[in-house]
């Protein structure tokens, strides 16, 4: 997305927050391609036979986004951060409906990039990961937000800092701590399900 388009997205988001419904219609063509790339990023972590496709995920997420009445839209980074959150929520809801519960084995695994979230076997149950993120949010809401923005939203350190109103250093520090916490939680989940110790190498 070019600089001009980025500025236009921000302007339309602000207009939307100010009650201009026409801005919503103008927004979609500008953000569709990036939303689709975001959906593809999510779906690459899913099993190959998943019934949802990126286009359907984009449309469902966008419907949820335009139904957000309590969000004070500020900029494109915030918009795509919330879009990523909605996409993850859709996939988790889909997994729960299909009854891929964490205690029923590993039917619904997602791949995790070791560079951003090291996990045993490079995969984790989607519902288990969501449960872990919810638990993290109860302990430290900002850490959970940073994980969502950085891992699921693909936002840079600078963009995440701007969305949360914190320094780049805070994002870096919290991200490292959140990764380590989630790694421990997912290890414990595997041990509980399989009954065997998972490798406990801590993420760098």
**DSSP structure string for 9-59:** HHHHHHHHHTT-THHHHHHHHHHHHHHHHHHHHHHTTS-TT-S--HHHHHH
Q: Over the stretch 144-175, which tens digit does the pLDDT of each residue have?
A: 999 988 887 778 899 899 888 999 999 999 99
- CATH 1.10.1740 region(s) of the chain? 1-98
What is the pLDDT averaged over residues 176-186?
88
As a whole number, mean pLDDT of residues 113-133 equals 63
Q: How confident is the model at residue 202 (pLDDT cuts 50, 70, 90)?
A: low
109, β-bridge pairs:
125
> What architecture is the 1-98 domain classified under in CATH?
Orthogonal Bundle (1.10)
Residue 6: pLDDT over 60: yes
User: Taking Cα atoms as reference points, which of 104, 28, 88 lies closest to residue 52?
Assistant: 88
58-102: pLDDT as tens digits: 999 988 888 876 778 888 888 888 898 898 889 888 877 765 444
**In this predicted structure, what is the pLDDT of residue 101?**
44
Q: What is the pLDDT of residues 24-63, one digit of tens each?
A: 889 988 999 989 988 887 777 666 556 678 888 899 998 8
Predicted pLDDT of residue 189: 61
């Amino acid at each position: 997305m070019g600089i001009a388009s980025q500025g236009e997205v921000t302007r339309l988001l602000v207009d939307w927050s100010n009650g201009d419904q026409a801005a919503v219609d103008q927004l979609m063509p500008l953000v569709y391609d990036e939303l689709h790339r975001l959906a593809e990023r999510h779906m690459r972590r899913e099993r190959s036979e998943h019934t949802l496709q990126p286009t359907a995920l984009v449309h469902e997420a966008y419907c949820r986004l335009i139904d957000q009445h309590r969000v004070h839209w500020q900029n494109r980074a915030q918009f795509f951060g919330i879009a990523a959150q909605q996409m993850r929520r859709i996939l988790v809801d889909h997994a729960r409906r299909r009854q891929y519960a964490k205690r029923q084995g590993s039917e619904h695994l997602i791949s995790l990039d070791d560079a951003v979230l090291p996990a045993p076997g490079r995969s984790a149950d989607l519902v288990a990961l969501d449960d872990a993120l919810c638990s993290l949010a109860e302990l430290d809401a900002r850490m959970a937000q940073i994980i969502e923005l950085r891992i699921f939203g693909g936002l840079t350190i600078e963009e995440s800092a701007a969305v949360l109103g914190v320094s780049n250093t805070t994002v870096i520090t919290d991200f490292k701590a959140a990764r380590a916490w989630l790694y421990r939680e997912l290890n414990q989940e595997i041990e509980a399900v399989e009954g065997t110790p998972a490798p406990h190498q801590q993420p760098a």
